Chain A
Amino acid sequence: MTARAKIDQTALVTILLRLADDHLILGHRLSEWCGHAPMLEEDLAMPNMALDLIGQARSLYQYAAEAEGEGRTEDDLAYLRREREYLNCLMVERENGDFAHTMLRQFYFAAFMQAFWDGALESADETVAAIAGKAVKEVAYHLRHAGEWVVRLGDGTEESRRRMEQAVDALAPYVDELFEADAVSDAVAEAGIAPDPASLRKSFERTVGAVFAEAGLETQAVPYGQTGGRRGLHGEAMGYLLTELQYMQRTYPGAVW
């Protein structure tokens, strides 16, 4: 019997789905590079990270399905919901763009998740703490790998710098949403299950600041950020992504390996 903090199950399921969807969708995006990366080394590195993310998503979906208690499985949650039921942040669903864009997005997400999992190690919920225990090592590598690329592209050739600066501009409107708090995240934070996203901003900015200083990049402030992902409101790219992601389960319902 695992220890569970007392909390409204709906809030727990919602927060688990938000996290799981972030990881599944970003894992899917990264996996799109497989066979298309600029070099063999990255053709393995990106799917490696994708597999880490999808593995984390599976653990989170399994727990969400269990906590929900309605007989749904991880596959039902991952493959058979409608677009409005996905609760991932908007940054992860964005199209890959070029390699600089993909690496910067990975770096931002890893910088956020490192702070998140660090906090979740002390979770009052044993399952969340166990998932965090595995994820911290994986995310530490993602952060290092993506961070090294941000430095090398930012502080590289004229072209790589231009591309990295374009990525900073393109992703700037999607950063704020990571730290969004609402009644659900408040309830979960109050119960000691997972950190309040808003509280992770300082750590995120420290991580990004150190890498940007080395890369000679500057963060872009935006007047207002994009929002809506946590409530199921997504951009145009999301529908196309789900069409591909869900194809097998929709075409061959119940298909297994």
Chain B
Amino acid sequence: MATNEIPLWEVFIRPRNGLAHKHCGSVHATDEEMAIQAARDVYTRRGEGTSIWVVPSAAITASDPEHKDENFEPALSKVYRHPTFYKIPDDVGHM
């Protein structure tokens, strides 16, 4: 990466207590504090969040798109792994 480029950060927002932080996009920022502020300004303007995480995009290791077939296709034929054969009681809430 060129040194005069502003680094990219991945943004995760938690909409409510009890829910997980979810990836919602990315921002440019010079450091982590500015990244949090940029994320706040870009992604929580309509009250979407109660908590923000930012992670340097460079710190993320991604799966290789070329390994897509061997990684993911074997799971497609194994429907019995889905928990759709059970009824979840209403009281359980978010799973």
State the A residues within 8 Å of B (CB): 39-41, 44-45, 48, 141, 144-145, 148, 152
Contacts and interface: CB of A to CB of B under 8 A. Distances in A.
A45 B41 contact: yes
Interface of B: 6, 27-31, 33-34, 37-38, 40-42, 45
B31 to A, nearest CB: 8
Given A145-B37, A148-B33, A41 B28 contact: yes
A41 B42 CA distance: 6
Contacts of A41: 27-29, 38, 41-42
Given A45-B37, A48-B41, 15 more contacts: A39-B28, A41-B27, A41-B28, A41-B41, A41-B42, A44-B45, A45-B41, A141-B40, A145-B37, A145-B41, A148-B33, A148-B34, A148-B37, A152-B30, A152-B34
A44 B42 contact: yes
Nearest to A39: B28
Contacts of B42: 40-41, 44
A236 to B, nearest CB: 32
Residues of A contacting B: mostly: helix
Contacts of B40: 141
Contacts of A148: 33-34, 37
The 4 lowest CB-CB distance pairs between A and B, nearest first, are: A41-B38, A45-B41, A44-B41, A44-B42
Contacts of A145: 37, 41
Residue of A39, A41, A144 most packed against chain B (CB within 10 A): A41
A40 B41 CA distance: 10
A203 B45 CA distance: 30
Nearest to B34: A148
25 contacts: A39-B6, A39-B28, A40-B28, A40-B42, A41-B27, A41-B28, A41-B38, A41-B41, A41-B42, A44-B41, A44-B42, A44-B45, A45-B37, A45-B38, A45-B41, A141-B40, A144-B37, A145-B37, A145-B41, A148-B33, A148-B34, A148-B37, A152-B30, A152-B31, A152-B34
